[in-house]
Amino acid sequence: MGPDQAFMRGWFQRYYQSSPPRAPERLDRREFGFMFFDRDYVQRHLGFGEVGQLHSFLQGQVPSHAYYSSAYYQLPAAASMEEKKWLGADLVFDLDADHVKGAEALTYAEMLARIKVELLRLLDDFLLGDLGLDASHLKIVFSGGRGYHIHVVDARLATLRSHERREIVDYIAGTDLNMEWVFPERITSVKTFRAGAQESRVRSIPSVASGGWRRRMRDGIVWLVEEMRSRDLDDLRARLPTLAKESDAMIEGMLRDIYTKSGSREGAELMLSGNAFSSFSDRRHLDLFLRLLEEEVKPRFTAEIDEPVTSDIKRLIRLPLSLHGKTGLRVTPMDRERLSAFDPLRDAVPEIYPDRPIEVYAPRPVEVDIKGERFRVQGICEVPTYAAIFMIGRRMATLEVPADG
Helix (H) or strand (E) holding 45: strand 43-46
Contact 151, 319 (CB under 8 A): no
Sheet with strand 63-69: strands edge to edge: 43-46, 32-36, 63-69, 316-318
Handedness of CA 51, 53, 55, 57 (dihedral sign): negative
Residues paired with 368 in a beta bridge: 375
User: Residue 292, by phi and psi: left (phi above 0), alpha (psi -120 to 50) or beta?
Assistant: alpha
Distance of CA 262 to the CA centre of its chain: 39
- Give the chain's length: 405
Contact 385, 356 (CB under 8 A): yes
User: Residue 278, by phi and psi: left (phi above 0), alpha (psi -120 to 50) or beta?
Assistant: alpha
The yes-or-no answer on residue 98 being catalytic is no
Strand 71-73 with 43-46, pairing: unpaired
In this structure, which amino acid lies at residue 108?
Answer: Y
CB atoms within 10 A of CB 233: 14
Distance of CA 215 to the CA centre of its chain: 22
Contact 143, 149 (CB under 8 A): yes
CA–CA dist 35, 358 (Å, integer): 26
Contact 91, 154 (CB under 8 A): yes
Q: From the candidates 4, 125, 257, 306, which is the catalytic residue?
A: 306
CA–CA dist 376, 72 (Å, integer): 46
Q: From the candidates 96, 125, 257, 312, which is the catalytic residue?
A: 96
Q: From the candidates 4, 90, 94, 125, which is the catalytic residue?
A: 94
CB atoms within 10 A of CB 385: 17
Contact 375, 367 (CB under 8 A): yes
The yes-or-no answer on residue 306 being catalytic is yes
The yes-or-no answer on residue 282 being catalytic is no
CA–CA dist 64, 319 (Å, integer): 12
Tell me the catalytic residues.
94, 96, 306
